[in-house]
Amino acid sequence: MRSGNRFHRIALTFAVSVALVTAFSVVAGAQGPPSVGSTSLPPGGFGASGGAAGTVVTLVFLAAVVIAIVTVARYMTIRRKRREEALLLQAHVSDVLCRASQLQGLVITPSARVPVRRGRPVTLEVTGAVPTPELRETVLTLVRAEVARERSDVITEDHLFIAPPIRRAS
């Protein structure tokens, strides 16, 4: 959260700096020496309003840049928070699987994927190999119970496969 606030502060400082530089350049241009022989309107007939129009266009452009920077910063902050949530869920499920005594020695990996938008469900993918269908069901039961305890909007994807242990001939 600190980096998000820091980024917003940097974007605001940048916007204020650019606005001040623009304002000072317009004021300095208005106070500049008159051009030689310029007693009538310039071609096009804009006069002093041409400088004001340029200033308005510049300020609108700078506002658009600042809005884009703030939008990207918010997106990055939300994405980082959602990834942290996914890692937390993944860690909880991994701890449960590591504590289960009947699963010792098996390589089972939960991987959580979280979309940036909050309305979308989290996907927890469980991968690995188990020797029997009963152990596969045990793993899925443990994972689903832990997921239900943590969150209600999780889709559990089963990518476990049954690989009986290989017996070596003596």
Query: What pLDDT, in 10s, does the model give residues 30-86?
Result: 555 555 555 555 554 444 455 778 888 888 888 888 899 999 999 999 889 889 988
What is the domain partition of the chain in residue ranges? Answer: 2-31+46-82, 85-162
DSSP for the chain, written as a single string? -HHHHHHHHHHHHHHHHHHHHHHHHHHHHHTSPPPTT--SPPTTS-TTHHHHHHHHHHHHHHHHHHHHHHHHHHHHHHHHHHHHHHHHHHHHHHHHHHH-GGGTT--EEEEEE--SSTTSPEEEEEEEEESSHHHHHHHHHHHHHHHHHH-SSEEEEEEEEE-PPPPPP-
Res. 127 pLDDT band, cuts 50 70 90:
very high
Look over the chain and give the mean of its residue pLDDT values, rounded to a whole number: 79
CATH architecture of 85-162: 2-Layer Sandwich (3.30)
Q: pLDDT > 70: what percent of the chain?
A: 76
More confident residue, 33 or 100: 100
